[in-house]
Amino acid sequence: MLLSYIENLYQGSTTRLRIQNRLSPEIWINRGIRQGDPLSVPLFLAVMDWVTSNLDPDIGVSMGEAKINHLAFADDLVIF
């Protein structure tokens, strides 16, 4: 139900460019999340959590007893 709600929020999104005080025709936005939207941060974090928790734990770099398959900080991600 929540995913359906979020889909509906983003469905039909458009933008226009202002060039020398003239507006372009509408441009349909088909992917991504809106910059500055209050939902951007939780959506980004939810996707990053899903991505990093679904990485194969057997693939990565061994460091002593641990195997590291990714490093994540803020909006940076390195996958090994």
The DSSP code sequence of 20-72 is TTEEPPPEE--SS--TT-TTHHHHHHHHHHHHHHTS-TTSSEEETTEEE-EEE
Domain boundaries, the chain: 2-79
Q: pLDDT band for position 52 (50/70/90)?
A: very high
Residue 30: the pLDDT is 85
What are the backbone dihedrals phi and psi of residue 73, each rounded to the nearest 5 degrees, phi first?
A: -150, 120
Among 9-13, 34-38, 47-51, 74-78, name the most confident range.
47-51
Mean of the pLDDT values across residues 66-76?
88
User: pLDDT by residue (tens digit) across 5-43?
Assistant: 888 888 888 889 999 999 999 999 888 877 788 888 888
CA 74 to chain centre: 12
Query: CA 25 to CA 2: how far, in whole Å?
Result: 32
